[in-house]
Amino acid sequence: MLKPLLILVALILPTTVTAQQTIVVVGDSLSAAYGMAQKEGWVNLLAERLKAEQRPYRVINTSISGETSHGALARFRGIIREHRPEIVIIAIGANDGLRGLSLDAMKKNIAAMIEAAQASQAEVLLAGMQLPPNYGRRFSQRFAASFQQLADEYNIALLPFLLKGMEKDLSLFQPDRLHPLSSAQPIILNNIWRILLPLLEESQ
C-alpha cells in the first residue's frame, strides 16, 4: 500500500526541476573577452548572474574576435541548428563600421540572422554600436541608425549601444582605445541585462 501512496504524492507535488534553456551570443571581440581571460568577459559574467539568480539558462558564446556581419552570417544557421536557443543576442557590426564596409550589406547580413533566429522561434536581442568621431558624422549616424531600423522592422529588443556609459572614460579601455578592460565588463553586462531581463521573464 505504501508504494502506491508514494507514487500518488509524487504526482500531486509540484516539480522543482525546470528544463534548462539556452542563450546564444553571436558577436566579435567585444563579446569574445579580447585581451583578458574568458571568465572576465561580460558573457561569462552573464552566465554567472543567471546561475546566481537560479534562472534555468546556459550561455553559449560563439563570438570571434575580428568577426564581421558577413562572417557571422556564414556561421549563424549552423549555430542555431546546433544549439537551438530560446534567446539569441546579436552583437555584431562593429568591425563592419571600423573597416568602412557597406552599411547596406551589414544590415542585410544582420537582417538575415534575425530572420533565421525568428524562424527557429528564438527571441532576439540586438546590441548596437557607435563609431569613433573620426569616422565622420554622416557615416557614423547612418551606422548607429542601422540597428534601430532593424529593431523596428523586426520588432525585436534593442540595446542601442553596447558600451553605453563608457564612451567618455578612456580609463575603461585597453591601450587601443577600442576594447574595454576587464574592469569595464560589469558595465557591459548591466547594459545587456536591462534589455535581456524582460525576455527572460517572458520565457518563464
Q: Which of 28, 29, 63, 69 is catalytic?
A: 29
* Residue 81 covered by a domain: yes
* Residue 42 covered by a domain: yes
Residue 14 per-residue DSSP state = P
Q: Which of 65, 83, 120, 179 is catalytic?
A: 179
- DSSP-derived secondary structure for the chain: -HHHHHHHHHHHSPP-----EEEEEEE-TTTTTTTS-GGGSHHHHHHHHHHHTT--EEEEE---TT--HHHHHHHHHHHHHHH--SEEEEE--HHHHHTT--HHHHHHHHHHHHHHHHHTT-EEEEE-----GGG-HHHHHHHHHHHHHHHHHHT-EEES-TTTTTTT-GGGB-TTSSSB-GGGHHHHHHHHHHHHHHHHHHH-
CATH number of the domain that residue 29 is part of: 3.40.50.1110
83 as an active site residue: the answer is: no
Structural domain that includes position 197: 19-203
Sequential pLDDT tens for the chain (204 residues)? 545 544 444 444 444 456 899 999 999 999 999 999 999 999 999 999 999 999 999 999 999 999 999 999 999 999 999 999 999 999 999 999 999 999 999 999 999 999 999 999 999 999 999 999 899 999 999 999 999 999 999 999 999 999 999 988 999 999 999 999 999 999 999 999 999 999 999 876
96 as an active site residue: the answer is: no
179 as an active site residue: the answer is: yes
The total number of structural domains in the chain stands at 1
